[in-house]
Structure 1
Amino acid sequence: MQDWAGVFIPLVLFILLSPGLLCQIPGKCRFIEFGNFHTSAVSIVIHAIIFFCFAAIFLIAIGVHIDLGS
C-alpha cells in the first residue's frame, strides 16, 4: 500500500495558502486581507512559514496517512 498523505496534504495546503487567493498576511492596508489576488515578498515568506508549519504538523506530529488501495 502507498501512503498518499505526503502528496495530498501539501497540495491542499499549497492551494489554500497561496498568498492573495483566500487571504493575504500581511495585507496592503490591513493585517489580513481576503480575496484580493495581490501578493508581496513579505506575504510570500509568511505564507511559506505557515505552509511548512502546517505540513510538519499534519505529516510528522499527527502522522496522517491516506491509503488509496484495496
Structure 2
Amino acid sequence: MQDWAAPLIAAALFAFLAPGLLLQIPGRNRPVDFLNMKTSVAAIFVHTILYGLFLILFLIVLHVHLYA
C-alpha cells in the first residue's frame, strides 16, 4: 500500500495557492486581491511561505495519510 496523501496535498496546494488564481497576498491595490490573475514578486514570496507552512501542517503536524 502506498500513501498518496503527500502528492495529492502538495498538488492541490500548488494549484490553489498559485498567486492570482484564487487570491493574491499581498495584492497590488489591496492587502488581498481575489481572482485578478496578476502577480508580483512579493506575492510569489508570500505564497511560497504559505505553501511550505500548509505542507508542514498537513503532513507533519496533522499526519494526514491516504492509502490506496
TM-score tier, shorter chain, comes to over 0.9
The two structures, once aligned, show a CA RMSD in angstroms of: 0.4
Identity of aligned residues (%): 46
Moved over 4 A (4+): none
Cα deviation, residue 6, structure 1: 1.1
> How many residue pairs end up in the alignment?
68
Matched, 1:40 2:36: no
1:55 matched to which residue of 2? 55
Matches within 5 A, 1:1-70: 1-68=1-68
Q: Which runs of 5+ in 1 are unaligned?
A: none
Q: Which runs of 5+ in 2 are unaligned?
A: none
Instruction: Note the alpha carbon deviations across 1:17-50, whole angstroms, 9 max, x for none.
Output: 0000000000110000000000000000000000
- TM (norm. structure 1) is 0.95
